Amino acid sequence: MARILLVEDDPALSRGIIALLKAAGHAADCAKDGETALFLAETEPCSLVILDIGLPDMSGFEVLKKLRARGCKTPILVLTARDHVTDRVKGLDLGADDYLLKPFDASELGARVRALLRRDHGDPNPVVVIGNLTIDRARATAEVSGRPLQLRRREWAVLDRLTAKAGEVVSKERLIAEVFSYDDEVAPNALEVHIARLRRKLEPDGPAIRTMRGLGYMLKAS
């Protein structure tokens, strides 16, 4: 669905959040300190940053401030154990898009992630219809003419990215960057394999995925 950068130094918590994000179909990278977070945010494209405040080298507030000062417009969800109103106000004033207190329920984190991604795509409605294809991003399901599509995690991620840009060309490089995590071992034809599987599952009455040679792929809007 999207590539997400998690900034969290607690190993157990980061493993749990990464597992939750990947189970929802996202590609997820993790930074354990502020400097790594700033580097990854600027070098690896992502659709959302989940940012802890208590980091070992600098405050998450400082990371947030630097990201916004450098022109980063990526939605940022702040995680913190601090429950003071002044801290929440500070984070929002520095440019955070949402705030979630620890400890939190996994389902609430998932819902906030989905809401921020929809907002970033300019579409608050989780259900998207393109021809005979219906995608429900909240449930991570897709169907063609009422026929449920049995999609693997990365097939869903590719379809979601193409759906978000239906009628537009999405470059191969962009798809790879958003579908695979930074440390994934990606075979040279991995994306082509997922595209081929998606085409078979969308046939015969779903929208077509066109190959735009030298440019990328496009989900036919009509």
pLDDT exceeds cutoff 90 at 44:
no
Considering the domain delimited by 127-219, tell me its CATH architecture.
Orthogonal Bundle (1.10)
Q: What is the pLDDT of residue 183?
A: 67
Per-residue pLDDT, averaged over 73-93, amounts to 88
Q: What CATH class does 3-120 carry? A: alpha beta
State whether the Cα torsion 82-86-89-90 is positive or negative: negative
Residue 91 near residue 64, CB atoms below 8 Å: yes
For 106-110, what is the mean pLDDT?
92
Domain ranges of the chain: 3-120, 127-219
Q: Which has more confidence, 126 or 162?
A: 162
Please tell me the predicted confidence (pLDDT) of residue 175.
Answer: 86
The whole-number pLDDT of residue 198 equals 94
pLDDT at residue 35 greater than cutoff 80:
yes
Q: How confident is the model at residue 122 (pLDDT cuts 50, 70, 90)?
A: low
Which pLDDT does position 45 carry in this prediction? 79
Whether the Cβ atoms of residue 44 and residue 16 lie closer than 8 Å to each other:
no
